[in-house]
Chain A
Amino acid sequence: KQEVTQIPAALSVPEGENLVLNCSFTDSAIYNLQWFRQDPGKGLTSLLLIQSSQREQTSGRLNASLDKSSGRSTLYIAASQPGDSATYLCAVGGGLTGGGNKLTFGTGTQLKVEL
Chain B
Amino acid sequence: GAVVSQHPSRVICKSGTSVKIECRSLDFQATTMFWYRQFPKKSLMLMATSNEGSKATYEQGVEKDKFLINHASLTLSTLTVTSAHPEDSSFYICSARAGFGNTEAFFGQGTRLTVV
What is the bound-complex CA distance between A101 and B30, given in angstroms? Answer: 13
Summarize B's interface: helix, strand, loop or mixed: strand
Contact yes or no, B93 A43, CB < 8 A: yes
Answer whether residue B63 sits at the interface, using C-beta atoms and an 8 A cutoff.
no
Residue-wise, chain A 90-106 has the 8 Å CB interface mask toward B (1 for contact) of 01011000001111111
Contact yes or no, B112 A101, CB < 8 A: no
Answer whether residue A26 sits at the interface, using C-beta atoms and an 8 A cutoff.
no
Residue-wise, chain B 89-116 has the 8 Å CB interface mask toward A (1 for contact) of 0010101010011101111111010000
Answer whether residue A61 sits at the interface, using C-beta atoms and an 8 A cutoff.
no
Find residues 62-101 in chain A having any chain B CB closer than 8 Å to their own CB: 89, 91, 93-94, 100-101
Answer whether residue B75 sits at the interface, using C-beta atoms and an 8 A cutoff.
no
Contact yes or no, B107 A44, CB < 8 A: yes
Find residues 5-40 in chain B having any chain A CB closer than 8 Å to their own CB: 6, 32, 34
- Tell me whether A43 and B102 are in contact in the complex, defined as CB-CB below 8 angstroms, given that A103-B46, A106-B43, A108-B43 are known contacts: no
Contact yes or no, B93 A101, CB < 8 A: no
Which one of A34, A41, A101 contacts B110 once the chains associate, using CB atoms below 8 Å?
A41
Contact yes or no, A103 B105, CB < 8 A: yes
Residues of B within 8 A of A49 (CB): 104
CB nearest neighbor in B for A9: B41
Answer whether residue B72 sits at the interface, using C-beta atoms and an 8 A cutoff.
no
What is the bound-complex CA distance between A45 and B4, given in angstroms? Answer: 10
Contact yes or no, A100 B100, CB < 8 A: yes
Contact yes or no, A44 B93, CB < 8 A: yes
Residues of B within 8 A of A89 (CB): 43-44
Report the minimum CB–CB distance from A48 to chain B (whole Å): 10
Contact yes or no, A93 B102, CB < 8 A: yes
Contact yes or no, A46 B104, CB < 8 A: yes
- Tell me whether A101 and B44 are in contact in the complex, defined as CB-CB below 8 angstroms, given that A42-B110, A43-B6, A43-B109 are known contacts: no
